[in-house]
Each structure stands twice: as structure tokens, then as C-alpha cells.
Amino acid sequence: MNPYLKHDEWCIIEEGFVPENTRASESIFSIGNGAMGQRANFEEKFTGSTLQGSYIGGVYYPDKTRVGWWKNGYPEYFAKVINSTNWIGINVIVNGDELDLAKCKVDEFRRVLNMKEGYLERSFIAEMENGIKLAVKSTRFLSMVDTELGAIRYSVKPLNADATIELRPYLDADVRNEDSNYGEKFWEVVDTSCTPKISYIVSRTKKLDFHVGHAMRNFIALNGNIEHIQPEVNSSAMYVENIFKVEAKAGDEVTLYKYAAVISSLNHEKGSFPKVLDKLIDVAVSKGFDKMLQEQSDAWADIWKHSDITIEGDVAAQQGIRFNIFQLSQTYTGKDERLNIGPKGFTGEKYGGSTYWDTEAYCLPFYMVTHGQKVARQLLLYRYKQLDKAIENAQKLGFTGGAALYPMVTMNGEECHNEWEITFEEIHRNGAIAFAIYNYVRYTDDKSYLVHFGLEVLIAIARFWAQRVNFSQEKGKYVMLGVTGPNEYENNVNNNWYTSTIACWCMEYAEETINYVKSADPAKYKELAEAIKFDEAKEVEKWRDIRNNMFFPFDEKLGIFLQQEGYMDKEQILVKDLDPEERPLNQKWSWDRILRSCFIKQADVLQGLYFLEDRYDTETIKRNFDFYEARTVHESSLSPCVHSVLASRIGNVDKAYELYLRTARLDLDDYNREVKEGLHITSMAGTWISIVEGFGGMRVRNGMLTFNPLIPDKWKSYSFKVWFRENILKIVVSSTQITIFNESESSLTIKVYGVEHKVPGSSSINVPVQKQLF
């Protein structure tokens, strides 16, 4: 743990310059706007350790697969959202010497991520080798309103002497990814222009020929007044620069305003780039920095209105949850259905910015409840549009007849993952994609989604499961062999309870949805059935037969679902008995030892109990929770949240809180000493789930919102927002009382602890805190 950040309710604050923390801070202080993201790299030159990162959603490179031992069925490439042109750069030269924080004395360094208003600020005093003391302050943001624009205000003030200040804002397309498989560069420059008014670089990615365009226009102000100075220009093949030279008196403040536009061929004709960039820069300049910043702040106020969580009595927890909400909200906005949420968002290179099952299993609830139905629907449509590729993917592995296997990792629907035990075996991801459809419809009641999109996906997934099982003559049951469950510390196991359970559930839900669509829109159903050659009688009959005769491993003595057949053959040791020196296991033990041990990386059986909770009584959940929690090392950041929700579900608030704490400040306190690689964006949604579904006990049952709140001892009160269909609710829970505000006009009936309450529009109700009742 490296808790170097200050606690504050709305801001992330770093004080003091510690070069070793630079990469970590670059991740933590990242900014984004759903369309692009930017690590918190310094504007001025920095020769210390840094990971330059500027990413554009949907612009990726298919980096040729690198494996030791090729296996048929492996994908040819791993898709990577790639580091693109550096648009933030501003070189600062004072009396001929370049400012570089790695080479001068730095005082009063302060970096603030203002989450309430959505901008990043940094200030410091640098004592340069030439003796000049310089006060520097920068503010920058990526506009949530004009999502192709970013802006920087960068001020320098010589404190102890008059000085010649050169500010050299630039665009640099000569960038690379640290994780490039073959050290290859992914970009080629197509066109540059460098004029005192506007400068731009258009570059293209190799192989896929994505074009991106970056433009800048710069202004100088002296002591707050814009100076109409013509910059000199300078350029080379992949670089354009403006040069402003100002003679400043000691105490004068020289400010550079840098407006940047960033576009890609996802949204614009390749030939139109110079014109589009020109227009965008005009928009920025005509609004000006202050107005753009005001709009940014308004846009964030709107986001917080639907999504804020408050925690009274625990500033660290308050900051943690807001940080998670902030990062999630700036990673994905739902404005573009081609985009999705990478496990690290736009904050680093790891995981390539690609889509994992994390989206459906963890992120969907957050976006659905706080950003509304439309945003959640976009996430589902992303997979709908990739159905053909999922069918192709299944065909490559030998499945037929329209069976779909969604990829474990993808950018465009094609599989990019290349470890056989995950690529071919971690097939439970198909279940999460089906479950997300169910979860969405349950919450929004948008059944039209099933008619137009959902059913087709559900049938294709059910078809996959029906072929993936086989009938064991020995057992007289269907079995599912050679799988990897969510717990990646077991590979190639037979009858993983979670995978078999979610598979059967998928076949059941597909049947239920067929019946719904058949009656709601018979013509549409007929059209679909014909298009996909669906033999309903035969196929559904097969699904039923599988569901009725599936083998599920169960331990009679303990009364628990077994993670997989043979799990109890393992030496049963508990996490509490592990030497802390041996943790994390994935760094300290051989892979062989991990595979043979009983230790569990992340929720597996418990993932199933979480999804399908209504099917199990509290005692069953409790028995399984106690057994598996004791054996789970939570070495995936996605794990503690599921355990936390279940701990709340069984009324164990202390355990729920302990597990909650493991994710809430995971990145801020850098528990795993890896935040430098990027933030754990998808697991941040899990933290939100721990509060809303865990402590708040929120569920939707029979179309009604229900709450069963409890409160951790450490908190005086907490509140969360829920956007449910037409209503926005604010739920406040203290140690004695629950208050539900209905912030909308229309009334809503909800249940608290099993009792119905009507909450009239624009008013609230109070209910005393009780023991939970599910």
C-alpha cells in the first residue's frame, strides 16, 4: 500500500513531488470523456520515468499474436487501443534552458483532480539549474460537451528575475506503445500543417488504416491579457510546434491557452480532416477556455445528479466511491454504441482497452442505474452487433448451426485472447452476456429489446451450450467437460458448477423469451426463426432435456455446490492459514502449485449465487459463502465486491464492509502496487454494486424496486441515487432511519424490508432501519 494522496470529499490531491510516484499518479489523475482519455502526463518535458498515454476510443491496432506454442484456434492478433499523438505537450524554455522536473528542484508540487467539475490541475515551483525560480500552474480537461475537444491553460511566472520565456506547444505523432508485441510502431503520418493559426497532424494506423487527426491553436496572455503574438512555427515529419517568446519581468504571469481537437475516421471521412479540425478549433476558440470549463462543470453536475453516493463520517470512503464513479463516468458515456469499457479504461495499456465479460457481469448495473436505460442499452447493442462474429468464433472451434461463442477479449467481435485455457475454456462469458439482457429487461421493462435484438442473441447462446455439453453414459447425465470457471486458478476442469448452472439458466431464459416474443410479436418471431433456421420444437426440447438432466457437483455432507467435480480431493487449507509472505499467490507460487491448491482467485460458485440469488434460500447462500470465502484469495479485483454483496445478503455487515474496503480504494491506495499500469476501471463498478446492492440491498422484483438496507458501523449515513424507469430516487440510510426521496414528478411504489410504500412525486418517506428481510 502506498497511501500518498490526501483525503478529500471531491478531489484527489497529491502534494509534494516524488518521482517514484509519477507513473502511479499518471494513472490516477487520468482524464477522459467517453470518446478519448489521457493519462496525467506532464505538459512540459519530463525525462524521468513516465508512461505517455493518449487513447482514442475505437482506434486500435491488431498486434500480431505472440505465444510460445501456437495452438489451432488461437486468434492471429491481440487488439490494442493504442497510444496516439501527444496533444498535451508544451515545452518550456527559460533563458535558453528547458524545464524538466527530473532535472530541477521542485517545491510546492500539488496536483488536483477535481471530480466535481471534471478537470485536472497542477502547480509547482521549479528552481531551474540556471537559478530561475518559476511558478507553474496548469489546468486541463477533455470536454464532456464537445467530445472531440480538449483544452489546457498553462501559466508560468518567473519569481526571482526577469526572464525570456519560450512556450512551445506541440503535437507529436512519434509515439509508441510500451506493450507492442514486436516493438513495432503503429502509426504513419499522412499529412501535417504548421501555421501560426492552426497546426495539425493526420496520421494513420498501419494494417487497419484508422485515420486520426490532431489539431491545435494557441494563444498567449500576459498578466491576464491576451497578447496578439504570432508564433514562429517549426515542424518535422511527425511533429508540429508553435514557438512563443515573451520577455517577462519577475512576477509577470505568462499564460498559454492550448485548444486541441482530436478526430478519427470512425466519425469523419478521411478526406475531410483538415476542414473538420479547422471547424472544431473554431468552436473551441469562440467559446474560449472559461466557457468550455463552465460547460464541463455543468455537464459533470448533471452526471452527479444521477450518480452520486455520499458517505458521512468517513472521508476516505467518500473519496474512494466518488473516484470510482468519476472514472467510470469518464470512461463510458454510451454516446457511441461501438465503444465499450476496457478493464483499464483509457488509463493504461494493460488489457489493450478491449472488452471482457467484466462489462456485462460488473459494469452494466452501474450504468443502468446511474446513467439510464439508453446508456445500458448501448452496452447490450454492442454485443448484438457482434453476434455474427460470435457465431464465426464458435464455428472456428467446431460448433455449428448458428451457435455463438462470444470472445473472452475483443475489440470488434473477434477473439483476441490467446491462452488456450481461457480462449477455449472460459466459456462462462457467454452466460454473462445473456444474463445482462435479463438484468436490463428486469430493471427497465424494455421488452422491445428482446423482440428486436435480445432473442436472437439468446438463441445463439443457448445453441452453443446445447452443443458444448455431452451425455455421460457413466453418470446418466449431461456433463460439461474441460472448462475454466471465473476462478482462473483452475483450468480444464469438469463440471464447473457455475458454468453448468449459467448454461442451463441461459437455455431456460431463451425458452422463456421465445414464448414472450412469440406472443408479443408473432410476425417478428417468425421472421427471426426463418432467418436463423430455428427448429423450435426440436431445439427447445433438447435444451429442456439438458436442463432436466444436467450434472451439478454437490457436496452432501457440507451442503454446498462444488466448484467443480473433484474439488474436495484438494488439500483443504484456508486463506487465514496462509503465510502472508506467500501472498499474492500469483507472484509467489508456481502456476502448478496454484492449480493444484484449493485457493480460489475470484468469485466462482458465489458468482452464480449472486446472479441467481432468488433461486436460493439464505441458509444455502450462507453455507456456500462461509465455505468459499474462507478459500478465496481475491487476486482478481473483480472478486471482493461479489462476496461483499452476498455478505450483506446474509446479514454479515462487518464482513461486507471488510470486503468492500478491498475495492473501494484499491487504486487510490495502490494496494497491489500496480496502479502505474492503469486503473481497475471495471472493478470500480463492483465497488458501486457493493454499496447499492450490498449495503442498500437494492433489487428489482416483479417490476418493483426493493431495498433491504444495512449500514456499516463506521458510517454515520450514506446515500445513493437510483434512476429507475421514469423516476430518480435518492436513498439515505442512517443508523436509525431510511429516507427515500422521489426527485421526480410521478409517484412510485417501492418495497422497503418487504413492505410496500408509495412515494409521491417530489416528496419523501421515512422507514426505521430494521434487520434485513429478503
Nearest approach in angstroms of CB 451 to ligand BGC is: 30
Q: Does 682 bind ligand BGC (CB under 6 A)?
A: yes
Rank residues 343 and 365 by Cβ distance to ligand BGC and give the closer one: 343
Q: CA 152, CA 219: separation in Å to the nearest integer?
A: 11
Rank residues 337 and 419 by Cβ distance to ligand BGC and give the closer one: 419
Select from 205, 193, 177, 271 the least CA-distant residue to 234. 193
Q: Which of 55, 186, 356, 399 contacts ligand BGC by CB under 6 A?
A: 356
Binding site annotation covers 601? yes
Task: Give me 90's grid cell.
Answer: 508544451
Run of H or E including 208: none
Nearest approach in angstroms of CB 79 to ligand BGC is: 14
Nearest approach in angstroms of CB 562 to ligand BGC is: 20
E strands of 267-376, at which residues? Answer: 309-312
Q: CA 436, CA 363: separation in Å to the nearest integer?
A: 10
Q: Is the peptide bond before 584 cis (omega within 30 degrees of 0)?
A: yes
SS3 380: helix
Which residue minimizes CB distance to ligand BGC?
343
Stretch that binds ligand BGC, among 63-71, 352-360, 383-391, 472-480 (CB under 6 A): 352-360
Run of H or E including 486: none
C-alpha distance across the termini of the chain, in Å: 37
Q: Does 358 bind ligand BGC (CB under 6 A)?
A: yes
Task: Give me 434's grid cell.
Answer: 445473456
Rank residues 168 and 601 by Cβ distance to ligand BGC and give the closer one: 601
Nearest approach in angstroms of CB 356 to ligand BGC is: 4
CB 420 within 8 A of CB 71: yes
Q: Enumerate residues 147-176 that contact ligand BGC by CB under 6 A.
A: none
* Beta carbons within 8 Å of 299's beta carbon, 6+ residues apart: 118, 144, 145
**Residue whose grid cell is 490526501:** 6
Phi, psi of 771 (to 5 degrees): -70, 145
Rank residues 318 and 354 by Cβ distance to ligand BGC and give the closer one: 354
**Cα R_g (the chain), whole angstroms:** 27
Binding site annotation covers 357? yes
**Residue whose grid cell is 506547444:** 169
CB 485 within 8 A of CB 561: no
Rank residues 155 and 487 by Cβ distance to ligand BGC and give the closer one: 487
b vs e for 529-565, b when ≥16 Cβ sit within 10 Å of the residue's Cβ? Answer: beebebeeeebbebbeebbeebbebeeeeeebbbbbb
b vs e for 390-422, b when ≥16 Cβ sit within 10 Å of the residue's Cβ? Answer: bbebbeebebebbbbbbbbbbbbbbbbbbbbbb
- Burial category of 228 from C-beta neighbours within 10 Å (exposed 0-12, middle 13-18, buried 19 and up): exposed
* Beta carbons within 8 Å of 657's beta carbon, 6+ residues apart: 644, 712, 713, 714
**Residue whose grid cell is 518559476:** 134
Site track for ligand BGC across 474-493, x = CB under 6 A: ------------x-x-----
Nearest approach in angstroms of CB 493 to ligand BGC is: 15
Rank residues 192 and 644 by Cβ distance to ligand BGC and give the closer one: 644
Select from 462, 501, 484, 495 the least CA-distant residue to 615. 501
Nearest approach in angstroms of CB 763 to ligand BGC is: 42
- Say how many residues touch ligand BGC, by CB under 6 A: 11
Rank residues 346 and 351 by Cβ distance to ligand BGC and give the closer one: 351
Rank residues 265 and 636 by Cβ distance to ligand BGC and give the closer one: 636
Rank residues 357 and 551 by Cβ distance to ligand BGC and give the closer one: 357
Amino acid at 449: Y
Binding site annotation covers 570? no
Which residue in the list 488, 511, 677, 693 is annotated as catalytic? Answer: 488
Nearest approach in angstroms of CB 485 to ligand BGC is: 10
Rank residues 92 and 666 by Cβ distance to ligand BGC and give the closer one: 666
Helix axes 639-649, 618-629, angle to 10 degrees: 140
Q: Enumerate residues 593-632 that contact ligand BGC by CB under 6 A.
A: 602
SS3 439: helix
Select from 400, 409, 396 the least CA-distant residue to 350. 409
Q: CA 127, CA 688: separation in Å to the nearest integer?
A: 43
What is the maximum span of the chain, computed from C-alpha positions, in angstroms? 90
CB 66 within 8 A of CB 181: yes
Q: Which of 34, 343, 402, 485 contacts ligand BGC by CB under 6 A?
A: 343
Number of C-beta neighbours around residue 631 at 10 A: 18
Number of C-beta neighbours around residue 632 at 10 A: 25
Rank residues 101 and 603 by Cβ distance to ligand BGC and give the closer one: 603
Q: What is the DSSP letter of 257?
A: E
Site track for ligand BGC across 438-467, x = CB under 6 A: ------------------------------
Q: Does 362 bind ligand BGC (CB under 6 A)?
A: no
Q: Does 638 bind ligand BGC (CB under 6 A)?
A: yes
Nearest approach in angstroms of CB 78 to ligand BGC is: 14
Number of C-beta neighbours around residue 336 at 10 A: 17
Stretch that binds ligand BGC, among 48-56, 299-307, 351-359, 614-622 (CB under 6 A): 351-359
Q: Does 353 bind ligand BGC (CB under 6 A)?
A: no
Q: Which of 357, 478, 551, 724 contacts ligand BGC by CB under 6 A?
A: 357
Q: Does 496 bind ligand BGC (CB under 6 A)?
A: no
Rank residues 293 and 436 by Cβ distance to ligand BGC and give the closer one: 436
Number of C-beta neighbours around residue 70 at 10 A: 9
Q: CA 340, CA 351: separation in Å to the nearest integer?
A: 13
Phi, psi of 107 (to 5 degrees): -120, 160
CB 693 within 8 A of CB 610: no
**Residue whose grid cell is 461483499:** 644
Binding site annotation covers 602? yes
541 is catalytic: no
Q: Does 345 bind ligand BGC (CB under 6 A)?
A: no
Q: How far is CA 4 from the centre of its chain?
A: 24
Nearest approach in angstroms of CB 357 to ligand BGC is: 6
Q: CA 145, CA 298: separation in Å to the nearest integer?
A: 9
Stretch that binds ligand BGC, among 37-45, 82-90, 259-267, 354-362 (CB under 6 A): 354-362
Please give the residue ranges that form the binding site for ligand BGC (CB under 6 A): 343, 351, 356-358, 486, 488, 602, 636, 638, 682
Residues annotated in a binding site for substrate = 357-358, 601-602
Q: Which active-site residues does the annotation give?
A: 488
Residues annotated in a binding site = 357-358, 601-602
